Every structure is written in C-alpha cells, then in structure tokens.
C-alpha cells in the first residue's frame, strides 16, 4: 500500500496533519498527473458508525437534519487536502454510488443488513454481489469550492444531504420496480437518474450516469484466490517455519 502512496493515518489530527501535508505537498512539485481518492465519511456505513455520526451531528449544532442513508462527512481532512493541493488542483469529482439490491437504511422489517449480505466471502464465493452499480458523477471546478473553513463545512454538508436524497429516490424506484415485476431485480436507472437530477439540480448539474456490471468471471475469481494464496504463503508460512525452527533449535537451549 505504501508503494502506491496510500496515506496512513493515526486518526489523531495533530499527528495526521503533519504527514498528510508533507505527502500532499510533494504532488504540487511534480509534473505527473495524480488522483487523490478520499471518503470524507472516514468509515463504512453500519449501525455503529451511524450512531456515532448522529452524536457528532448533535454536538455540531447543524441547522439541517441528519441524513438517513449516508454518514456525515468530516470536513477537516478534506479541507486541509484542498488547501494543500491548491497550487496544482483543478477540480474535484463528486461520486454518489448506488448498489442495486441493497436495502435502505430506513427499512424496519428486520431483514439482513447490507454489510451482512454483501461482504467479501458472499461476493467471491456465493456470487451475491450487487448486480449493477449506478454512479452519479459531477465535476466541481476549484473556483466553485468555498475556501473559508466554515463555509466549506456548510457546503459539504449540503452536498451530503443531496446525496441522501439521491439514494432515497433510487431505493424508492427500486422498490416500486420490484413490486411491479418480482421477476426483475433491476430497474430503469436512466429514468431514476433523470428524476433525481430534476429533484437535486444543485448536486448533479452536468452529471452523468455510469453503470457497471460487477459480476466476477471465473478467471477473475481464480486470480483473486491465487493472489490471496500467494500473499498468505509469503507472510504466514515463513512465520510458521521460523517458529518451528526456533522451537527445534534455539528453544531447546533456553
């Protein structure tokens, strides 16, 4: 991960700010193009993280209600990234991703949660991954991003509220499609996108809908299994052999 320039964090801003600014500053000094992928929520959506997000919302005294289908974004890290990369930054791309077959967070029928249904074992071995992935993508020019920290925080929260509306509408149309024809798991994504675009123009102006089938081929699954086996062999087996050697040689004299 270090070789492809992952930025490792300690989840302590005093410490993380130093390493973050140091690594991002190097991007301003190179002529090579770069991409920085960042999830402002900082973690995945589950019951535990949602409750923590609600507590953060209560202590922050935001004027808007807490969203249902997304966690609140943490603005400090993203704002620092944008400020550091300002000399070389041209735009940011806002992506809202909807996975078909997932359940809305507002579901109260006691069914299996998304994190229980879609996980690495179920996707790789049981082929239970989402059939389609719908991506709402919008480009935001650097000039349109607020620079003052408080204004940036409000702007970022408003975009996340709009994301919540997108996901809510997608869930609604998915449910409506299933009730019309239970034999179909997909729905008219373009129609949903057009309706969401009309409902949230401030978010998806100039956006486009991208769809990708995530079904893994047999060759893909073999590659993933082989890769995992190679990594396991390189890390775990040498450790076991070293432990056995220690017990059989040095350990006898201790």
Q: How far apart are CA 217 and CA 214, in angstroms?
A: 9
The Cα–Cα gap between 96 and 135 comes to 6
Count, in order, helices (H) and strands (E) of the chain: 9, 3
How far are the Cα atoms of 44, 144, 216 from residue 223, in angstroms, in the given order?
Answer: 26, 43, 10
- 11-65 pLDDT tens trace: 788 888 888 888 889 888 888 888 888 899 988 888 888 999 999 899 888 888 8
Please report, for residues 53, 81, 113, 226, the alpha-carbon distance to residue 105 in angstroms, rounded to integers and kept in the order given.
14, 30, 9, 35
pLDDT digits (tens, 9 = 90+) for 80-121: 999 999 999 999 999 888 888 887 776 655 556 777 777 777
Residue 152 has pLDDT above 90, yes or no: yes
Q: How many CA atoms lie within 13 A of 194 on its CB side?
A: 3
Q: Rounded to 5 degrees, what are φ and ψ at 217?
A: -75, 170
Residues, the chain, total? 254
pLDDT at 52: 92
Average pLDDT over residues 209-219: 49
Structure tokens at 242: 């070293």
Strand runs labelled E in the chain: 91-99, 132-141, 208-213
99 DSSP β-pair partners: 133
CA–chain centroid gap for 248, Å, is: 47
Measured between alpha carbons, how far apart are the two ends of the chain, in Å?
A: 38
Confidence bin at 252 (pLDDT 50/70/90): low
Locate the domains of the chain by residue range.
13-215, 224-254
Torsion sign across C-alpha atoms 56, 84, 91, 145: positive
Token pair 């450790």 is at which residue? 239
The beta-strand segments (E) located in 75-205 are: 91-99, 132-141
DSSP three-state, residue 125? coil
What is the crossing angle of helices 149-180 and 189-199, to 10°? 140
């Amino acid at each position: 991960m270090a070789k492809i320039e992952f930025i490792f964090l300690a989840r302590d801003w005093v410490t993380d700010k130093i390493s973050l600014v140091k690594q991002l500053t190097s991007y301003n000094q190179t002529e090579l193009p770069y991409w920085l992928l960042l999830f402002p929520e900082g973690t995945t959506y589950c019951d535990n993280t949602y409750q923590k997000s609600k507590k953060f919302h209560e202590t922050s005294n935001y004027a808007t209600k807490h969203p249902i289908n997304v966690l609140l974004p943490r603005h400090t890290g993203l704002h620092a990234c944008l400020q550091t990369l300002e000399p070389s930054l041209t735009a940011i791309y806002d992506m809202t991703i909807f996975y078909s077959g997932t359940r809305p967070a507002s579901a109260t029928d006691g069914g299996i949660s998304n994190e229980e249904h879609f996980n690495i074992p179920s996707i790789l071995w049981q082929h239970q991954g989402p059939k389609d992935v719908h991506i709402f993508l919008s480009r935001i020019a650097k000039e349109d991003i607020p620079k003052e920290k408080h204004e940036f925080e409000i702007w970022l929260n408003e975009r996340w509220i709009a994301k919540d509306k997108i996901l809510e509408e997608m869930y609604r149309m998915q449910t409506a499609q299933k009730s019309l024809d239970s034999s179909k798991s997909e729905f008219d994504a373009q129609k949903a996108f057009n309706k969401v675009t009309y409902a949230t123009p401030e978010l998806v102006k100039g956006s486009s809908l991208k769809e990708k089938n995530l079904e893994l081929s047999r060759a893909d699954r073999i590659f993933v299994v082989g890769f995992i086996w190679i990594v396991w062999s390189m890390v775990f087996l040498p450790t076991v052999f070293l432990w056995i050697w220690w017990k059989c040689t040095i350990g006898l004299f201790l």
